[in-house]
């Protein structure tokens, strides 16, 4: 299943609401079942695709907010946010 489809799974009444322990969200049992059915390679591919999507969207957002920034500045800002969660 492409990561975009997997991420688009909507909450419905059949799914239990997310449970939190501290700051760790417990995934729904159905999500766990689906992920356990994936091979390690498929799970790595999903993680890679998710990371790539976030980087692309973040870069587009920063380019919109800062049209005067160079590619190097955009790349640096994306890297900083991805590594440290800061702007």
- Measured CA to CA, the distance from residue 16 to residue 32 in angstroms comes to 12
pTM (two decimals): 0.64
Nearest to 3 by CA among 62, 66, 46, 51: 46
- Please state whether 85 falls in left (phi above 0), alpha (psi between -120 and 50) or beta: left
The pLDDT assigned to 29 comes to: 92
Tell me what percent of the residues of the chain surpass a pLDDT of 70.
74
Nearest to 53 by CA among 61, 64, 41, 42: 61
For 7-36, the pLDDT digits (tens) are 444 444 555 665 656 677 888 999 999 999
Mean pLDDT (the chain) is 83
- Measured CA to CA, the distance from residue 59 to residue 78 in angstroms comes to 6
Are the C-beta atoms of 58 and 65 separated by less than 8 Å? no
- The residue with greater pLDDT, 57 or 4, is 57
């Amino acid at each position: 299943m492409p990561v975009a489809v997997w991420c688009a799974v909507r909450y419905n009444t059949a799914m239990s609401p997310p449970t939190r322990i501290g700051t760790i969200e417990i995934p729904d049992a159905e999500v766990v079942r689906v992920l356990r059915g994936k091979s390690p390679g498929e799970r790595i591919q999903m993680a890679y695709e998710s990371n790539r999507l976030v980087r692309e969207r973040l870069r587009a957002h920063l380019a919109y907010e800062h049209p005067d920034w160079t590619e190097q500045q955009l790349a640096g800002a994306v890297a900083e946010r991805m590594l440290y969660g800061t702007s």
